[in-house]
Chain A
Amino acid sequence: MTAPALELIDVHAGYGSIEVLHGVNLVVPVGSLVTLLGPNGAGKTTTLAAIDGRVAPTAGCVHIAGRHVNGSPTQRVARAGVCSIPEGRGVFPNLTVDENLLMVTQLHDDLTTSMVRERTFARFPQLARRRHLLAGSLSGGEQQMLAMARAIVTDPALLLVDEPSMGLAPVIVAAIYDVLGQLTAEGMTVLLVEQFAHKALSIADFAAVMSNGRISVFCEPADLEDVAGAYLGVTA
């Protein structure tokens, strides 16, 4: 059996003296989509940050495809095949769409810019018309599409996506999720953080629910009940 794409073993991490993750255990098998759910402040984004190197874990292990990567700087984790798409602003607002796509090729010398454009515009035709505009002037949905281009083009070993639907209109969210579903169908391994539980669960192989810096539930989506309660405090 090959090593899982991602394995977190008792990961502790935080900012300064404030620990946010109190021992996270999580396995993402190769070729599966795991969605990480939970209320604001549960530690979802910090978990992603601990994986992609924005935050160095204070204890525990982060294994990517069996390799120990704790404390490696972000760019090195990226070179190891992890594509991390951060929350909200996954684009460089003062670069044009074309220039943003050029950034995607930063460590992929085999990719030509025309290939990147071709594949991106095939998936998101509306970006083609905006090629020469600053990314910051695009709508939120177009920005998210542009951010997703890196995942589409670079064929990463592991894709981390943080709240891709945040603040977007439902039709755009649907488009983004189509892409995510398709990438998974093509065999990509994905860890998807969402507040929008419903959408994420519809394409996930597994769901992990976080609360207070730990994974409290890990199961198949069908076995998960009452996620809504965690967000709006309806059950409180």
Chain B
Amino acid sequence: MGEFIGLTIAGLSLGAIYAIAASGLVVTYTTSGVFNFAHGAVGMIMAFVYWQLRVQDHWSAPAALGLSLLVIAPAIGLLLEAVLIRRLNVNDTGMTLIVTVAVMVALMGVAFTIWPPTIGRLLPQFFGPNGHVSIDGELISYEELISIGLAVATALGLRLFFHNTRIGVAMRGVVDDRQLMAMNGRSPQFLNALSWMIGAAFGALAGILTASTYTLDVLTLTLLVLNSFAAAMLGRLRNLPLTFLGAIVLGLANAYMTGYLRLTGWLVELRPVLPTLFLFIVLVALPAVRLRAGTAAVSKAIRVPGARASLVNGAVLVAVAAIAAPFIHGIALGNVNEGAALGIGALSIVLLSGYGGQMSLAQYAFFGLGAWLFGETGHGGNPLGLLAAAGAGAVLGALVALPALRLRRLEFALSTLAFGTLAWYMFLSQPQIIGLGDVNIPRLHLPGLSLQNDRVNLVFLAVVFALLSAGVLAIRRSRYGRILIAARDSEAACATLGLNLRLTKILLFALASAIATFGGAIYGSTQLIVTSNDFQYVSSLFIVLIVYVWGISTPGGALAGGMSLALAPLVEAHVPARFQALTYFFTGLGALTILTHPEGVIPLITERLRLLNPLAAYRSRQTRQVRVANEQLLTTVEVRRATPADA
């Protein structure tokens, strides 16, 4: 009995933290329409700020809490809303996700730099080491009770705020009708900003509680957003009572599982993936969303090179690789090889997100699967191993896509991250698969051609990349490619023309995942030795972010993205250890270029270069008039979409 009570209290206390974090997420998302991926990261920063005040600067707990929760956290929320979020089109799921992921990465950089993880940090418990009560022999810390109390207070406070205060009711009302709220004299923008301030404060509270009860760790706290998301999905990110219920269920499940189940073997990893499992159950149980007209985001058309141009580009790339290879030495050669291999895998992102408009945050799970399968089936570097990897990827991709039609794009994108987490813990990290130790993967062996030499391998990778990107571009130019773009622009229109969206999406995911696992196999063959840490699920966020920045709709973006990831350590090596994590910061900051150049850096450069050609410049001048008109019309479309439809 005592054990049961102890576990229940522990579960409730964990659930309470999830509930506090998740309610911040829900408040922000409901009012402003933007899912804050950096929610956990804000909480993480605030936990460190609190540590700084409390431990380093010897503030009292109430003063440190007051300043953190009531001043600094809301200020961060306000800053994010005013500088970034205000400029986003909430219908553009990919963009809102990427921008908040960029914020998350930047905040991680800030934390790593100011509070280097090499030093252990402990937050004192609010009531010291003796702050506990004993029930039936079980020690229950005041910490746990405080979390529960705060969650109850949060629930009651939010209920009061949203139903009994003028400003709280206005935050619910603005969701119904922004213009009408303005007509009532209350600025909708102000309410948005307020929702970000409140969200940040709850994120901070959850972060500080997690840090003082469990651990003060950058990654753990940052990924609190995932657990919150899982809880909030029960209420479809909009319903606070259901969110609380989800959080409590998650917390209790975690505690009982820890206490009662003696998990062995691969099941030991069950606990960290519990929120993910919970999420999957919720996703399957949720009613499917209906196809809706009027939610499409207008995207810019990007020049698609013809078949000849793409082959010429590929030939140039191979030539460059062949010429440059002899001049690359030492560690750099390995990194460049790695970058090329990642670039091949990243082509899957171009197909999936650039053309198909679907966000997948699980690419590294597919890379890992590909590398492992190639190691298992490609004995002696047998090329058939590549096919096996691609085939398995296609099947798995199709399976992952199954819930895609039931969910909104944002929900689905977040679910893929959950899938990635699951795949890493339950599969890639298992010692029978890859595990944390080194696993040898053979170098690919082509009949009559040895790739053992890294320079030869590099040229080979260039050839593969050139061919595969020509293939991806051919898909884009094909009938299927046009249908993909069409489905991205308006699912409702495609369905009313007779397109089976489910099949289309499954095919898209199968294709993209085949490319990803193929790339993973190539990556394994290039690296020769891999560990599961090479395929850490968080990396999936980074690669999508970076490819997005370079250009999500162009193969060049994939290559540049892969290279950036692989070459970053070379740059870091020249940076003093104290500031190495600033690469995170600048990556995040740099990623914000997509606010002004959503099409990416590479299309921007190629367009500039194209204009150096006098004939092209002349043509462009001719069409500029039209383009100006386009921009204005784009706003027209937005205005039209912003006005309520004929009911």
Q: What is A's interface to B at a CB cutoff of 8 Å?
A: 15-18, 52-54, 73-75, 78-79, 83-86, 88-95, 99-100, 102-107, 150
Determine if A78 and B180 form an interchain contact, defined as CB atoms under 8 angstroms apart: no
B182 contacts A99, CB within 8 Å? no
Chain A residues lying within 8 Å of B639, measured Cβ to Cβ, are: 15-16
The B125-172 residues at the A interface (CB cut-off 8 A) are: 163, 166, 169-170, 172
Contact of B184 with A104 in the complex, beta carbons under 8 Å: yes
Known: A15-B640, A17-B632. A94 touches B175 (CB 8 A): yes
List 26 contacting pairs A-B, 8 Å CB cutoff, sorted by A. A15-B639, A16-B636, A16-B639, A17-B629, A75-B181, A75-B183, A75-B184, A75-B186, A78-B183, A78-B185, A84-B183, A86-B179, A86-B180, A86-B183, A89-B644, A90-B180, A91-B180, A92-B173, A92-B180, A95-B172, A99-B169, A99-B173, A103-B169, A103-B184, A104-B184, A107-B185
- CA distance in complex: A218, B632 (Å): 33
B176 in the interface (beta carbon within 8 A): yes
* Alpha-carbon gap, A16 to B642, bound state (A): 13
A88 to B644, CA, bound (A): 10
Distance A92 CA – B644 CA, assembled complex (angstroms): 13
Residue among A18, A94, A106 with the highest chain B CB neighbour number at 10 A: A106
Query: Which residue of chain B lies nearest to A167 when distances are taken between CB atoms in the complex?
Result: B647
* B284 at interface by CB-CB < 8 Å: no
- A78 partner residues in chain B, CB cutoff 8 A: 182-185
Q: Could you list which residues of chain B lie within 8 angstroms of chain A, going by C-beta atoms?
A: 163, 166, 169-170, 172-173, 175-177, 179-188, 629, 632-637, 639-640, 644, 647
B185 with A106: CB separation less than 8 A: yes
Q: State whether B166 touches A105 (Cβ < 8 A).
A: yes
Which of B176, B180, B644 has the largest number of chain A CB atoms within 10 A?
A: B180
B231 vs chain A, min Cβ distance (A): 23
| Given contacts A15-B639, A95-B176, A75 and B185 within 8 Å (CB-CB) | yes
Chain B residues closer than 8 Å to A75, beta-carbon distance: 181-188
Which residues does chain A contribute within 8 Å of B640, judged by CB atoms? Answer: 15
Collect the chain A residues with CB atoms within 8 Å of residue B170's CB.
Answer: 103, 106
A-side contacts of B175, CB under 8 Å: 94
Q: Which of B170, B175, B184, B633 has the most CB of A within 10 A?
A: B184
How many whole Å from A143's CB to the nearest CB in chain B?
Answer: 12
Partner of A103, one of B181, B188, B637, B644: B181
Cα distance A102–B175 when bound, in Å? 16
Minimal Cβ-Cβ distance residue in B for A78: B185
Provide the bound-state CA to CA distance between A16 and B185, in Å.
25
Whether the pair A53, B182 counts as a contact (CB closer than 8 A) is: yes
Q: In whole angstroms, how far apart are the Cα atoms of A89 and B170 in the complex? A: 16
Flag if A106 contacts B636 (CB, 8 Å).
no
B166 touching A52, Cβ below 8 Å: no
Q: How far is the CB of B7 from chain A (nearest CB, A)?
A: 39
Contact, CB under 8 Å: B633 / A74: no
Closest A-B pairs by Cβ, 10 of them? A16-B636, A107-B185, A74-B182, A17-B632, A78-B185, A92-B173, A16-B632, A92-B176, A16-B635, A75-B187
For residue B634, which residues in chain A have a CB less than 8 angstroms away from its CB? Answer: 16
- B183, closest chain A residue (CB): A84
Report the Cα distance A97→B98, complex, angstroms.
39
| CB neighbours of A52 from chain B (8 A) | 183
Q: Are A102 and B180 in contact (CB under 8 A)?
A: no
Residue of A18, A73, A95 near B169 (CB, 8 A) is A95
Q: Beyond A52-B183, A94-B172, is A17–B166 a contact (Cβ under 8 Å)?
A: no
- Specify the chain B residue showing the minimal Cβ separation from A17: B632
Please report the C-alpha to C-alpha distance between residue A5 and residue B503 in the assembled complex, in whole angstroms: 60
Assembled-state Cα–Cα distance A95/B165 (Å): 13
A88: min CB distance to chain B, Å: 7
Distance of A17 Cα from B631 Cα, bound (Å)? 9
Whether the Cβ atoms of B180 and A15 lie closer than 8 Å is no
A107 to B187 Cα, complex, angstroms: 11
List residues of chain A with CB within 8 A of the CB of B185: 75, 78-79, 106-107
Assess the B169–A17 pair: CB atoms within 8 A: no
Bound CA span A155–B169, Å: 23
Residue of A nearest to B175 (CB): A94
B635 near A102 (CB under 8 angstroms)?
A: no
Chain A residues with CB under 8 A of B636: 15-18
Is B182 a contact partner of A94 (Cβ separation < 8 A)?
Answer: no
- Contacting pair A92 B177 (CB below 8 A): yes
- Other than the given A78-B184, A95-B176, A103-B169, 7 more pairs (CB < 8 A) read A54-B182, A75-B186, A89-B180, A92-B172, A92-B176, A92-B180, A94-B173
